Amino acid sequence: MSEGGRSAETPLKVAVYPGSFDPATNGHLDIIRRAAKQFDRLIVAVLNNTSKQPLFTLDERMGLLREVTADLPNVEVDGFRDLLINYMAQRQAHVIVRGLRAVSDFEYELQLATANHKLSPEIETFFMMTSPEYSFLSSSIVKEIAKFQGPVSDLVPPCVEKALRAKNA
Ligand code: ADP
């Protein structure tokens, strides 16, 4: 028997939740908590995207995510810069988790999921609808509010709020 009481022949269900997480919000955390219940292991994969200029470094984004997921034993935080499907193959994961907030997310997500499926047909994208209280929430909105010293305590975990305050001090 291996992890989760499975026999050695049954592969673990490993899912990857990729994103920029610049920074992690309560909306991301909601998806992470719910997705972690559906898979044996959930890898939160932080994209080191060289074309975007993030507010937080890759290490800072990963550190904050590790802090807020410390109570979830089957969640791992990692960084990647490769094509997502290459990273998935490396990690032996077959499921991509993405969150959907509104219809506006749909077109882009459909494009992404279709491209990934075409590149690697055994990979499936699982979409999770956001909990309604987070449907308006994005990392960009949080950064905008924090830039002008607005209140973000209902939008992000306390350690992220503190990190935002330090960036905007
Ligand atoms: P990306 O740059 O890949 O869009 P994000 O960090 O912005 O990275 O988002 C990662 C994933 O989390 C995406 O699937 C996005 O739709 C989802 N997401 C972002 N904010 C929320 C939220 N408030 N509720 C649910 N899902 C969300």
What is the total count of domains within the chain? 1
What is the arithmetic mean of pLDDT over 78-96? 95
- Whether the per-residue pLDDT at 99 is higher than 60: the answer is yes
Q: In testing the pocket of ligand 1, which one of 20, 22, 26, 28 has its CB within 8 Å of the most ligand atoms?
A: 28
Asked if residue 1 has pLDDT above 50, the reply is no
Q: Is the CB of 19 under 6 A from ligand 1?
A: yes
Model confidence at 52, pLDDT cuts 50, 70, 90, reads confident
Is 156 contained in some domain? no
Question: Which CATH number do you get for residue 72?
Answer: 3.40.50.620
Assigned domain for 118 exists: yes
User: Is residue 101 one of the residues assigned to a domain?
Assistant: yes
What is the C-alpha to C-alpha distance for residues 90 and 81, in angstroms, rounded to an integer?
A: 12
In a domain, 159, yes or no: no
Q: Is residue 155 part of a domain?
A: no
- The answer as to whether 100 is a domain residue is yes
Question: What span, in angstroms and rounded, lies between the C-alpha atoms of 133 and 75?
Answer: 23
Q: Per the domain annotation, does 56 fall within a domain? A: yes
- Look up 2 and say whether it is catalytic: no
pLDDT value for 65: 98
- Residue 134 DSSP SS3: helix
How many Cβ atoms from other residues are within 10 Å of residue 58's Cβ?
18
Tell me whether residue 47 is in a domain: yes
Atom number in ligand 1 closest to CA 22? 6
